[in-house]
Structure 1
Amino acid sequence: MKLIRLKIENEGGFRSLQKDFEIKFHYLADTEAMEQFRPFCFAGLNGSGKSNVLEALANIFYHLEVCVARYLPESIKDPQNFKRHESVPDAFTLEYLIPEKESMSNSIKGFYKVKVSKKEGREPQLFIQPFPFDDSTQEREVSLIPPIGRDSSAEGKVYLPDHIIAYSSGENEILSLPFIKSRLIHLDEYRQAVRDNYSSFEESENSLIYIDNNMSQAVLLCCLLFENDETLAPLRVIDNTGILGLRSFRMNLHAHDFEFVDKETGKPSKAPILKIVEQNQIDKLKKCATSWFLDPKNQTLWLDFYVNDATKAAFKEHFGTGLACFHFFRLLYELNAHFVDDETKENVYRSKGVYTDGKLPVGNPRQDVFHFLDFYITKKIKGTGVEKDLLLRSFSDGEHQFIHTMGICLLLKNRRSLLLLDEPETHFNPSWRAKFIKILNDTISASSTGNDYNIHLLKDILLTSHSPFIISDCLPDNVVLFEKDEKGNTRARKVSELDNKFNTYGTSVELILDRLFNYDQSIGDLSYSVLESIDFDSIKSNEEIEKVKSKLKKLGDSIEKDMVLARLNRIKTKN
């Protein structure tokens, strides 16, 4: 999919994005650019509104996903928990290009232009238009209302992305809110399926996936089990993670119960949480395991996996693809929230603002339905070249952050996807920041190995960043500068459209800092204050010049220091 534009149209705006705020993405006429790796990088000072665009998109797609769903749990059908005619933001126009589901078009000619329009207090509408997206082709409305029964979703589901993936390096609870809601919907769907005695449970209809620390374990596991040496190459670059492979891991599954009120008798009732998946997916895990043991005392299933080629072959035989396996682990993680009470879930569903940390309780290990233990990765240690098995939890924040982003790109492969990455490089050292965009490109390109379609047409990537290294690897048409005008309104303009436009691609970090962040120094403010404190007018002798030079010896080399030294050398004294 490829985003075209987003306009916020409700009276109150959205967060720091005022009414009539508009951001433009790809140009319809520039189809060649869409066929290449062109991530959008949002730049600007803190508080300029960069993350709010990611949040708006996440909220919009959450609302659309619930509107088109063929099956929703009773909890979200409560009109207090979800209203089709009311969303956040409550009025907007969103346009993007997308192929039909399962269509592997190598050209934008096989895409539809989708326009989603919502007026305040009214239900959203979705319109599609075939190529060339102009007056020569007819636009038609597609229904967002599912047919009666549970046989299919609304027709509009076909024209929504397969996955909206989000990652935030900080605790951006506003960005995560629609994803938390999606998790609870999926949990409630499964809960009702257990209550109503369903024999199987499918992958969640909802496309929103938030990659947190728990989900990243599942991402890495599925990558290392299902991907080959060629597709894993970007993850194995020594300067990045040094990951060579998966050595072993253990899984624990605990037999907890869902508690219900029986519909017929009105009395309390219970059913095993793992009832639906026990005879199918869990049986598959047992067939893939090196050994397993059921502890009858604690009602805990222990599964141990020593990973070799036979282990990988077993997972491929029983789960098919890495993404299918990931979705199963995703469900198990979501079941860990089984103890969250209805009142808390209602508060989450009804939240329209900032969802603060602490509202949603976190279970302890005894309450978990599922967790990994002893997750060992074989890693080549930088500098020594020694190969060592290390626990995944011992990896640095930067390594986890790297795994989050690159791993999910490998798993998505031919899925029509939108990636929302909020400051994904926060924990990276400068070297990793400089390499991030290239490795992101290498990873996405590697995911298309063996296929003849253009992988870049199926994905769009939005990321926010303050790193000049990342901006330097993005073209000026794809770097969007966020600023506040004199009235305090947010405006977003591509660098290629600025009055003082310049080419960001391959530009030095110092120039980017100066042009986009109004920072014209190459050193920090504390050290710069030493240079600023020099009173050149008061220097009258060679002794005073030498005294100042001696003071400067504690500073490292920099352009600013060289300029001060040059000025000192030009001072003429009487002695």
Structure 2
Amino acid sequence: MKLLKLHINSDYGSIKKGFKLQFRAPYENQIPEQIDWSDFHPFCFAGLNGSGKSNVLEALANIFFHIESCANVNQPNNFQDNFKPELCKPNAFELEYYICQDKEYTVEKSIKICISKKEKNRKEDGLPEMTYQSFPFDKEPIPVSVVAEKFATKPAPAKRYLPDLVIGYSSGENEILSIPFLKTRLLHFDEYKVALEKEAKYEEPESSLLYVDYEMSQAVLLANLIFQKKEVLEPLHKELGIADIIRFRMNLNLHTHENKKILEQYKEVIGAFKQCATTCYEEKDKLTLDFWINSASKEAFKANFSNNPFKLFQAFQILYTLNYRTVDDSIKTKIYEYDGYFTDGKIPVPEPEKKVFYFLDFFIKKSYPDSKEVVPLLMKNLSDGEQQFLHTMGICLMLKDKSALLLLDEPETHFNPDWRSKFIRTLKNSLEHSQSNNLMTDILITSHSPFIISDCYPDKVIAFEKGKQPINARDMNFRTYGTSVDIIMENIFKKRNTIGDLSRKEIEDIQKDISKRKKLSSKEVQEYKLRTNHLGDSMEKILLFARLNELENTDA
């Protein structure tokens, strides 16, 4: 998919009514020969804290969650009782994007989608509306029903015009972004529970929202290391030193739900895992599967999971979802009806024996740059930066043939400077190696890193300033791509200093001393310079020395 525009017509977080963001010019307003959306060019939202850049990601996640909730049909009663199609956060908006259901995605096969919702008055709010236009988008838009009919067994028609995946990730500081994804996970469990109660086959979650956290990153890494070719895994080898997976254990607690084995509706997939396992040990209430990974076991996984890494990942995703069995319906109801900003701590974390599924002995092969030695390492022993790298890169390796929107909120927080400078290039390489079609994916990144901004084209860098409409760097006549980080700091973050405030104050104190002086003796100049001996080299120090030299009276 490719985003076109987002207008928010009601207050939302730091975003005020009347917010407008144009992602790209409409196809019909461009010269066809000049359009090339197949290149990798992510959007980067840059600005100071509180400027609204993360609110855009949150708004998009909430909008797609709301439309999914309107269109989907496999929803529990306690959700339906609290969900109101006419109320959303943000409550009034217009969103336009291009999407295509054809795997051979080209601009000529795309469809233009417009989703809108109006805020009428305090007593009455409008339902979301959707229209579509087929290429070349020169005919009247055709309306599409968004809200599923009562007691319907199939989703509303709007469902087919939504992306396959809406993926969220935050470095940990933005819990708000995770809320619609958390609600989705609870809905996924209740979908499964209904299938169990009705003894109906359960294959995949109905909703497209997917949040990548530590548990999901384990599943992402496994699916990639087992399925992907060596060249596809090159970013993980090169940047993290991860050579391969050695072994892992799946622990499955055979809990019951209303006297039914909770894994009963998933026994075909469990059987597939057994076919791939090195050893299998089953007790009355527990199933333990051990996997020692070699070429034969990888072939077994490919045979049992349709040679599709995403299918294996989704199997793990569903098993993780079953861990929400410990969440009471009363707690779910509070989460579903919750219209505040924080849910942290509202869902209890179950003890291992109360979970349905978790990994143990997850060992990988890792090499270190200062030696050729390859050592076994537990997945949980990777650093925060390495975990973040896996979160973002790993999911990109599985996006082949998927229309997806990636919402990455400050993914580089724990990266070292080297990784920050390589992030965009590595992201690009990951998508290229997995043969993803860039026309099917849009990536939005919020960042404070000038290194990331320096690798993004000016029409894709959106500068945010609190209380103002966002503006892309192109319209600022600011060529971000390949620009020095110092210049980016000045233009985007209004930071003209190249050193920290504590050390800068020492230089400013000297500048204040000499500000009204017309001349200085050589001795005075030398004394001022000696006061800076403990300071390293910087532009501020160079400018101070230049001023001291100008004032020096060599005749004194």
TM bin (shorter chain): over 0.9
What CA deviation, in whole Å up to 9, does each residue of 1:480-501 have, x standing for no partner? 01112xxxx3411111113xx2
TM-score by length of 1: 0.91
| In structure 1, distance between residues paired with 2:485 and 2:424 | 15
| In structure 1, distance between residues paired with 2:500 and 2:87 | 47
- The Cα of 1:540 is off from its aligned counterpart by 4.7
**Contact 2:335–2:343 (CA under 8 A) maintained in structure 1:** no
Residues 530 and 385 (structure 1), Cα distance of their counterparts in 2 relative to 1, 3 Å cut: farther
Provide the residue aligned with 1:84 in structure 2. 85
**Contact 1:513–1:519 (CA under 8 A) maintained in structure 2:** yes
| In structure 2, distance between residues paired with 1:168 and 1:440 | 16
**Aligned with 2:6: secondary structure?**
strand
Residues 412-451 of structure 1 aligned to structure 2 (within 5 Å)? 412-448=399-435
**Contact 1:91–1:119 (CA under 8 A) maintained in structure 2:** yes
Provide the residue aligned with 2:473 in structure 1. 495
Residues 254-269 of structure 1 aligned to structure 2 (within 5 Å)? 254-258=253-257, 269=258
| In structure 2, distance between residues paired with 1:169 and 1:551 | 41
Provide the residue aligned with 1:550 in structure 2. 530
Q: What code does the residue aligned with 2:202 have?
A: F
Provide the residue aligned with 1:273 in structure 2. 262
Provide the residue aligned with 1:263 in structure 2. none
- The Cα of 1:36 is off from its aligned counterpart by 1.3
**Contact 1:375–1:391 (CA under 8 A) maintained in structure 2:** yes
Q: What code does the residue aligned with 1:17 have?
A: I
**Aligned with 1:138: secondary structure?**
coil
Asked if residue 60 in structure 1 is aligned to residue 63 in structure 2, the reply is yes
Provide the residue aligned with 1:504 in structure 2. 480
| In structure 2, distance between residues paired with 1:164 and 1:57 | 9
Provide the residue aligned with 1:122 in structure 2. 126
**Aligned with 1:43: secondary structure?**
strand
- The Cα of 1:350 is off from its aligned counterpart by 0.9
Residues 184-223 of structure 1 aligned to structure 2 (within 5 Å)? 184-198=186-200, 200-223=201-224
Q: What code does the residue aligned with 1:358 have?
A: G
Q: 2:541 aligns with which of 546, 561, 570?
A: 561
| In structure 1, distance between residues paired with 2:50 and 2:180 | 21
| In structure 2, distance between residues paired with 1:384 and 1:543 | 53
Provide the residue aligned with 2:463 in structure 1. 481
| In structure 1, distance between residues paired with 2:448 and 2:310 | 31
Residues 83-482 of structure 1 aligned to structure 2 (within 5 Å)? 83-100=84-101, 103-120=102-119, 121-134=125-138, 137-146=139-148, 151-198=153-200, 200-237=201-238, 240-258=239-257, 269-277=258-266, 279-296=267-284, 299-320=285-306, 321-448=308-435, 455-482=437-464
**Aligned with 2:154: secondary structure?**
coil
- The Cα of 1:74 is off from its aligned counterpart by 2.4
Provide the residue aligned with 1:4 in structure 2. 4
| In structure 2, distance between residues paired with 1:107 and 1:295 | 52
Q: What code does the residue aligned with 1:7 have?
A: H
- The Cα of 1:574 is off from its aligned counterpart by 5.9
| In structure 2, distance between residues paired with 1:494 and 1:373 | 46
Q: What code does the residue aligned with 1:123 have?
A: L
Q: What code does the residue aligned with 2:473 have?
A: V
| In structure 2, distance between residues paired with 1:108 and 1:479 | 23
Asked if residue 532 in structure 1 is aligned to residue 530 in structure 2, the reply is no
Provide the residue aligned with 1:261 in structure 2. none
Let me know the Cα RMSD of the aligned residues.
1.7
| In structure 2, distance between residues paired with 1:91 and 1:107 | 31
Count of residue pairs brought into register by the alignment? 540
Q: What code does the residue aligned with 2:504 have?
A: Y
**Contact 1:18–1:490 (CA under 8 A) maintained in structure 2:** no
Q: What code does the residue aligned with 2:23 have?
A: F
Provide the residue aligned with 1:266 in structure 2. none
Q: What code does the residue aligned with 1:206 have?
A: S
Gapped regions of structure 1 (runs ≥ 5): 259-268, 449-453
| In structure 2, distance between residues paired with 1:526 and 1:367 | 51
What CA deviation, in whole Å up to 9, does each residue of 1:60-82 have, x standing for no partner? 0001111111422223222xx21
| In structure 2, distance between residues paired with 1:33 and 1:512 | 26
Q: What code does the residue aligned with 1:491 have?
A: Q
| In structure 2, distance between residues paired with 1:189 and 1:151 | 13
**Aligned with 2:443: secondary structure?**
strand
What CA deviation, in whole Å up to 9, does each residue of 1:218-277 have, x standing for no partner? 11111111111121112211xx2011111111111112222xxxxxxxxxx432222211
What CA deviation, in whole Å up to 9, does each residue of 1:111-141 have, x standing for no partner? 010001112212111100011223xx23101
- The Cα of 1:356 is off from its aligned counterpart by 3.5
| In structure 2, distance between residues paired with 1:228 and 1:273 | 35
**Contact 1:244–1:377 (CA under 8 A) maintained in structure 2:** yes
| In structure 2, distance between residues paired with 1:324 and 1:543 | 75
Q: What code does the residue aligned with 2:190 have?
A: D
Provide the residue aligned with 2:15 in structure 1. 17
**Aligned with 2:352: secondary structure?**
coil
- The Cα of 1:106 is off from its aligned counterpart by 4.2
**Contact 2:43–2:462 (CA under 8 A) maintained in structure 1:** yes
| In structure 2, distance between residues paired with 1:478 and 1:47 | 20
Identical columns (%): 46
Residues 150 and 356 (structure 1), Cα distance of their counterparts in 2 relative to 1, 3 Å cut: closer
| In structure 1, distance between residues paired with 2:24 and 2:235 | 27
**Aligned with 1:195: secondary structure?**
helix
**Aligned with 2:273: secondary structure?**
helix
Q: What code does the residue aligned with 2:178 have?
A: S
- The Cα of 1:360 is off from its aligned counterpart by 1.5
- The Cα of 1:421 is off from its aligned counterpart by 0.2
- The Cα of 1:196 is off from its aligned counterpart by 2.2
**Aligned with 2:351: secondary structure?**
coil
| In structure 2, distance between residues paired with 1:394 and 1:543 | 57
**Aligned with 1:404: secondary structure?**
helix
**Contact 2:85–2:147 (CA under 8 A) maintained in structure 1:** no
What CA deviation, in whole Å up to 9, does each residue of 1:354-405 have, x standing for no partner? 0241111111212211111111111111111221111111111111101111
| In structure 2, distance between residues paired with 1:572 and 1:110 | 75
Moved more, 519-528 or 416-425: 519-528
What CA deviation, in whole Å up to 9, does each residue of 1:399-434 have, x standing for no partner? 110111111011121100000000011110111000
- The Cα of 1:152 is off from its aligned counterpart by 2.9
**Contact 1:247–1:378 (CA under 8 A) maintained in structure 2:** yes
TM-score by length of 2: 0.94
**Aligned with 1:52: secondary structure?**
helix
| In structure 1, distance between residues paired with 2:483 and 2:520 | 42
| In structure 2, distance between residues paired with 1:148 and 1:423 | 40
Provide the residue aligned with 1:451 in structure 2. none
| In structure 1, distance between residues paired with 2:187 and 2:504 | 53
